[in-house]
Amino acid sequence: MKKLINDPAHVVDEMIEGLVLADARLLRLAGETVVIRADYAALRDAGRVTIVSGGGSGHEPAHAGYVGEGMLTAAVAGPVFTSPSVDAVLETILTVGGPAGVLLIVKNYTGDRLNFGLAAEIARTRGVPVEMVVVGDDVALGDGNAAVGRRGIAGTIFVHKIAGAAAQAGLPLARVLAEAQAAAVNVFSMGLALSPCVMPAAGRAGFELGEDEVEFGLGIHGESGVRRATIGPVDAMLEPALEAILRHGKLLPGEEVALMVNGLGGTPALELAIAARFALRNLARQGIGVRSVHCGTFLSALEMAGCSLSLMRLDATRLRRLLAPSAASAWSAPTIPGAMAEVAAPDYGAEEAVSGPAWANAAQQAGFGGAIRAVIAALRHAEPELTQLDSAVGDGDLGISLARGADSVERAFDTLDLTRPARALAQVSALLRRSVGGTSGPLYAMFVLRAALAMAQEQEAGDVSAWARAVQAGCNGMMELGGAAPGDRTMLDALVPAAQALAQGAGDARARLDAAHGAALAGAEATRAMAPRRGRSSYLGDRTLGHPDPGAVGVAVWLGALAAALKEGGAG
């Protein structure tokens, strides 16, 4: 088990201490794992309803993250995935509760209902008015277990916000209760899990889920869901979840909702945004208006990977409460969805301004086109090798990046001006800068652009010396942009010797290109013994020794393709 903890027995205490130390607006209830607003006494004395929620820990930022103006007055944290004690809840109620009363918001789990319910009963005997709302928004198991009811999951956060805003507006307990209950019965959620989570005290996963498995409707404590299936595209996986939410919620075209896309703790924001895309597009197709969107991690299950979708049916009051400001640290104002608006990018047309000499005959032009196609094929073929090499010393994306660039040139091949190589190279440079990310994209785009500009100044397209000068110009541009030089263990360790061989070699174009390819191979091999001074490899230090630089190997790949194409009767 790898976790950033000290002692598994004290994780909740230390979490509460960290939260309170980090935020002067929060207090800890002495002797308890309870977070309270620092201004709770002023609220109580001003006759405001106070809002208390809580439950087992491990669901952060719930529940303490929602303690603050406009949301909760206090949050009672139990042990991980375990309800807090009756006494902890009771002490919280008696601390923050005044004549205006306290509203408890509880997720529908037996331990929470019993402990919060008994604490409420005792508090009433002490003269504190207390009401309780139980949230059961999870539609995964349907209504089959009527005795227990639906589980409470991420939609509970919507109820926190509605109740908190109503209390902030100064409403009496009965009306705050009514608004919270109305929100609770209009919230519907369902999730899916891609991985289990590890309980700190146990030190192992709470359940098993295969590498290619996904569980639909899994509870936030690892309780079983509806079914398991093989993982697939997120749209396909979320479709039955959203369908179940709409069916159980009886949500119809023309109605308006708030959407929450909630990460379960181990889900990157990138994946949550893709899930939000699915939900927003699907709801729009069904004629359901989404008035607000929350996308992030709001109620987690430790480090479980996966997400849940929640929809809350809106009326004017709930929308107003939802959009009301809150100072709780984990709450952010929802975004307001709009159409998929796009701004047209300007057409720079820089490559069209590059002209230069034309090929002397159709054979040279055909050979030039064949050489480009040969490079495309070679980079596609080398993708696995380059990916493997780059995975050992970098971030593993070089092969994919170069193959993506090759694909972009292939798709646009018929638009290239093959009659004038300088213009065609400028067009290729534009394609590379648009399609290839990372460091290789701009470097190769610069290399090809400088080569294009150099060729545009030449007199004969078929002059091998002109091409040698163009390649050297490309090398110079790459060095200026990237700041690297030969000896730094980069692609330049293959490219610069190749440019020199092309410029200084004897014989015709075929012989000189063969020499350039040989120089690139030798340069790439020499990088095995070089210490990296640039790029991601520089972070690995001596661990790169014995591995060739993948960028240098990539240069040898496309130079080899050019040499082979020229032997078959290419340009020059």
Would you please indicate which residues are annotated as catalytic (active-site) residues?
Answer: 221
Spatial distance between the Cα atoms of 360 and 370, rounded to a whole number of angstroms: 16
What token pair was written down for 565?
């194409």
Q: Say whether 375 sits in a helix, a strand or coil.
A: helix
CB contact burial 230-243 (16+ within 10 A = b; e otherwise): eeeebeebbebbbe
- Residue pair 129/101 in contact (Cβ under 8 Å)? The answer is yes
Closest CA to 258 of 298, 310, 327: 310
Amino acid at the residue 51: I
- Checking DSSP bridges between strand 34-37 and strand 74-80, what pairing results, if any? antiparallel
Q: Say whether 197 sits in a helix, a strand or coil.
A: coil
Spatial distance between the Cα atoms of 460 and 444, rounded to a whole number of angstroms: 24
CB contact burial 196-205 (16+ within 10 A = b; e otherwise): bbbbbeeeee
What token pair was written down for 451?
């080569």
What token pair was written down for 436?
């290839």
Spatial distance between the Cα atoms of 66 and 73, rounded to a whole number of angstroms: 9
Closest CA to 177 of 88, 70, 100: 100
